[in-house]
């Protein structure tokens, strides 16, 4: 019985935050498409949160059916006149749709339908989904930075582990890192990020030791760590920890809403830059992809962040506030990820539609149906492959294979 309660408790901690955050983010994404389409007078049939069996629905005065479906892991906006899954009919399909609309509703009726809007309007409608994700992230980061302010921890070395690249390079406790490969750094997080993305690549550190200025070179190596949030991961380290040792190593100042917004937008840019760098390293074989996460990994991270927030010191009020701020940051990062993925030039995603519209703008005709169909199939295969790749790493990070091996032994 205790095992059942433990399982239910674990599901509550991991699944509920994940579903809640994902539902909000997907809703905002689809609202981006919806509001931009409404602004251009596009006729819309349906707005659905979730897939599968309908749980609730209501039709508004504009004829839009708003529905909630059983599987809350996505959603969609269905424009009137959609002919196929790609939502980009070819020339023959457009001609057939236009003649049918004129026959049913009269001349000019087609102008209210998405596929007959100018290319630039269709492109804006498609791009509005990912844009809504980035706007949501900016809003969440603005709230977060408005509450917590700007906190800067200097890259001071608090500990050096013997026998590691940092020890062999000559780092000592109390050293202050001032640059990496000639680029100035002022925050400990900058050093950590650079090291994580530089496995097996020598890094030259500018170091201030008392009155001396030194140049030390260390090569990050991959180690296996059990992260409280992400699980078991292989990650690049050089064997030192950073932390404030003197009062001047930590600074704080409150931020007004404008400053918080600027910091939030900067955080989005930094996250996208890190993502692109990491993906580039995967494709060139310099990273294994351990830090990529699929649904299982995101759910695990949501649960881990929730547990960490609730495990802190303080009463219920402080823990609730800590949980709210933690989920704000988590939701902002997931929203950036969803916006980025949707902009990839894969036909089943928003980026694929934009790619088709770019062709249409140049060729002055839609992409042929056979090309769209082939692209749609290839896109599904790519997404399935990416999902399997991420899920494989999720299962490894969760030690599920070791667990199953233990059951079999």
* Catalytic positions, written as ranges: 30
Quick one: residue 174, left, alpha or beta (phi over 0 = left, psi -120 to 50 = alpha)? Answer: left
> Which positions ≥6 away from 371 have C-beta within 8 Å?
none
- Cα Rg of the chain (Å, integer): 25
Place of tokens 């509005």: 128
Tell me which residue of 246, 249, 32, 264 sits closest to 146, measured CA to CA: 264
- Cα separation, 135 vs 145, whole angstroms: 15
How far is residue 133's CA from residue 336's CA, in Å, rounded to a whole number? 6
The Cα angle at residue 78 between residues 74 and 79, in degrees rounded to 5: 150
How far apart CA 139 and CA 192 sit, in angstroms, is 26
Distance CA 24, CA 132 (A): 12
Tokens of 149: 């302010």
Phi-psi region of 336 (alpha: psi -120 to 50; beta: other; left: phi over 0): alpha
């Amino acid at each position: 019985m205790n095992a059942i309660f433990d399982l239910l408790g674990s599901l509550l901690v991991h699944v509920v935050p994940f579903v809640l955050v994902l539902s909000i983010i997907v809703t905002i994404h689809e609202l981006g498409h919806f509001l931009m389409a409404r602004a251009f007078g596009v006729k819309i049939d349906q707005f659905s949160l979730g897939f599968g069996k309908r749980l609730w629905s209501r039709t508004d005065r504009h004829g839009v059916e708003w529905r909630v479906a059983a599987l809350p892991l996505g959603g969609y906006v269905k424009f009137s006149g959609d002919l196929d899954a790609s939502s980009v009919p070819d020339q023959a399909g457009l001609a057939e749709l236009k003649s049918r609309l004129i026959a049913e509703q009269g001349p000019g009726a087609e102008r209210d339908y998405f596929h007959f809007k100018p290319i630039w309007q269709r492109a804006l409608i498609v791009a509005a989904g990912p844009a809504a994700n980035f706007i949501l992230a900016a809003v969440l980061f603005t709230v977060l930075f408005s509450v917590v302010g700007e906190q800067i921890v200097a890259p001071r070395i608090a500990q050096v582990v013997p026998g590691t690249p940092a020890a062999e390079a000559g780092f000592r406790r109390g050293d202050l890192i001032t640059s990496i490969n000639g680029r100035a750094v002022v925050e400990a997080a900058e050093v950590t990020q650079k090291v994580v993305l530089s496995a097996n690549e020598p890094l030259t550190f500018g170091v201030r030791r008392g009155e001396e200025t030194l140049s030390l070179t260390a090569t990050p190596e991959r180690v296996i760590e059990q992260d409280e949030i992400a699980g078991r991961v292989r990650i690049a380290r050089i064997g030192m920890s950073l932390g404030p040792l003197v009062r001047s190593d930590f600074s704080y100042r409150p931020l007004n809403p404008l400053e918080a917004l600027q910091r939030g937008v900067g955080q989005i840019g930094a996250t996208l830059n890190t993502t692109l760098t990491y993906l580039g390293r995967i494709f060139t074989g310099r990273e294994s992809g351990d830090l990529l996460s699929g649904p299982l990994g995101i759910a695990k991270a949501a649960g881990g962040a929730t547990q960490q927030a609730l495990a802190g010191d303080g009463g219920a009020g402080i823990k609730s506030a800590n949980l709210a701020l933690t989920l704000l940051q988590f939701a902002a990062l997931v929203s950036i990820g969803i916006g980025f993925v949707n902009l990839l030039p894969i036909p089943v995603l928003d980026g694929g539609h934009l790619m088709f519209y770019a062709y249409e703008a140049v060729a002055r005709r839609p992409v042929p149906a056979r090309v769209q169909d082939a692209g749609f199939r290839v896109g599904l295969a790519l997404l399935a492959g990416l999902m399997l790749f991420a899920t494989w790493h999720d299962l490894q990070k969760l030690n599920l294979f070791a667990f199953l091996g233990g059951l079999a032994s």
